[in-house]
Each structure stands twice: as C-alpha cells, then as structure tokens.
Amino acid sequence: MTYKEKIDKARLPQHIAIIMDGNGRWAKERGFDRIVGHQNGVVSVRETTEAAAEIGIKYLTLYAFSTENWGRKKEEVDALMELLVDTIEKETPTLNKNNVRLLTIGDLKRLPEGAAKKMAKCLDDTAGNTGLSLVLALSYSSRWEITNAVKEICEEVKDGKLNPDDITADVISRHLDTKSIPDPDLLIRTSGELRISNFLLWQLAYTELYFTDVNWPDFRKENLYEAIYNFQQRERRFGK
C-alpha cells in the first residue's frame, strides 16, 4: 500500500508548513553550482503543491527565503529572486487551473521592484480561488514578524485605541502576517537539519514536528504523504 492510500482522509492536517532545505548540498553532491539545486527545488514545490491540493489540504506554507538569506552572496540572492519571479509567472495558470490561491508572508518591501510587482500580480490573479491556499514565506523571519506586531500594538496603545490589559495571545496573533491563517498542524523540515531557523516561532507552539534526511530537490508526493501518515500516528494533547 502506498502512503497516499494509508492516509485517513477524515483526519488530515489543515495546515502543513515546510522548511525546504538542502538545495545547496544536493547540488554540491552532484558537482553542480548551488543554483542548480534551487532550480531543481522548483520541481519539488510543484509536486508538493499538487500533492497537497490532490488530497485536500487547506493551507500549505513554504519557507522560500528568510530575512537572513539576504546575507548570502549576491549571485545566489539574485539568482534566487530571478527564479522566484520566473516560477511565479509560469505557474500562475496552473495555480488557477487547480483552484490554488497564493498568499505571502514576510517583509516584501525588501524584494526587488520587479519581483514585488510580479508577485502582487499573481496574488491578485489567484485571489478568487477557493481550494488550497499556498502561502509563500518570502523575506520572512519570525522575529521580524513579532517585532512588527509589537510595534503595531504599541502604536494602538499610544493612540488610546487599545488598553494594555486587553492584550491577549489572540490580539498578538491578529497582528502577525499570518492573521488570516490557522496555526500549522504539521511542520516538515528536509535535509536532516534539526532546527527551526526563525520560522513561525509563535505559530508552531503546538505543531507536530517532522524531520527527514531527504534534500528538498528530491522531495516528491510520496514523501509528503509519508509525513502526513506519520502525523496521523501521533496523539496531540495540547497540554491537557
């Protein structure tokens, strides 16, 4: 039986988040430049999005570029931005065909102008879709997001719109970029690294974590289904 067949369709995680890691190592192992790893990673993005949509996942968040990733060599950053824009443009018709809505989280103001414009167009073109929500974390880091939320909340207190006694966990959630998105049920990280790397620190409070040694460019539908099946074998207690 395949993992896809083993999955209980009645108990799917509503939201899966993925730290897509290992592109550079995948390329290095094959004697290629790092960017070849990123190019092959696009195939995995397509496969994973399709796999999630096929089985009926509601939200899929992909960590595509962190605020720390701006610190990589200029050639790699430029190549990643170009790849991103190209992919978004090329994939928009497929997203529409599959009823997928694109959303983004992160500091998009830091994106090059051309990239930001094309991203905005894809967001607009897919806004009416009602199937899977594909959330791209772009120029994202959790500490950046939380810092922003604190600033906004302080402004509201300063303007007399909010009483400090009324600040709850819910108020904080509503000031994060993920305000319209439920917390992830399952987090997957590829490439064998066992860390969170500044991703969704607040939202992952009760998320189930799944780590695999597979490098992102090798990740395929069945790898996603295996992670979902593994998730379904766990007992979530939420401290109760």
One-letter amino acid at 96 equals: N
Cβ atoms within 10 A of the Cβ of 72, count? Answer: 16
Query: Residue 145 interacts with ligand IPE (CB under 6 A)?
Result: no
Query: Residue 145 interacts with Mg ion (CB under 5 A)?
Result: no
Q: Which of 90, 167, 76, 79 is nearest to 125 (CA)?
A: 90
- State the residue for tokens 């399952």: 186
Q: Which of 142, 193, 199, 136 is nearest to 21 (CA)?
A: 193
Local structure of residue 36 (DSSP, 8 states): H
Local structure of residue 145 (DSSP, 8 states): H
**How many whole angstroms separate alpha carbon 164 and alpha carbon 162?**
6
Tell me whether residue 125 is one of the annotated catalytic residues.
Answer: no
Residue 18 interaction partner, one of ligand IPE, Mg ion, none, beta carbon < 5-8 Å per kind: none
13, 18, 21, 184: which one contacts Mg ion (CB under 5 A)? 21
Q: Which of 21, 40, 185, 215 is catalytic?
A: 21
**How many whole angstroms separate alpha carbon 80 and alpha carbon 78?**
5
Query: Residue 20 interacts with Mg ion (CB under 5 A)?
Result: no
Task: At 189, give phi and psi (nearest 5°).
Answer: -125, 130
- Residues in 90-119 that interact with Mg ion by CB under 5 A: none
Query: Residue 25 interacts with ligand IPE (CB under 6 A)?
Result: yes
**222 sits in which H/E element:** helix 221-232
Residue 178 interaction partner, one of ligand IPE, Mg ion, none, beta carbon < 5-8 Å per kind: none
| 36/149 with CB nearer Mg ion | 36
Q: Which of 195, 158, 151 is nearest to 176 (CA)?
A: 151
| 140/153 with CB nearer ligand IPE | 140
- Residues in 45-84 that interact with ligand IPE by CB under 6 A: 63-66, 69, 80
Tell me whether residue 69 is one of the annotated catalytic residues.
Answer: yes
Query: Residue 20 interacts with ligand IPE (CB under 6 A)?
Result: yes
- Only one of the segments 17-25, 86-94, 111-119, 225-233 lies at the binding site for ligand IPE (rule: CB under 6 A); that segment is 17-25
Residue 197 interaction partner, one of Mg ion, ligand IPE, none, beta carbon < 5-8 Å per kind: ligand IPE
Local structure of residue 181 (DSSP, 8 states): S
Residue 66 interaction partner, one of Mg ion, ligand IPE, none, beta carbon < 5-8 Å per kind: ligand IPE
Cβ of residue 232: shortest distance to ligand IPE, in angstroms?
Answer: 25
**211 sits in which H/E element:** strand 208-211
Q: Which residues bind Mg ion (CB under 5 A)?
A: 21
Q: Which residues bind ligand IPE (CB under 6 A)?
A: 19-25, 63-66, 69, 80, 191, 193, 195, 197, 216
Show which residues are catalytic: 21, 69
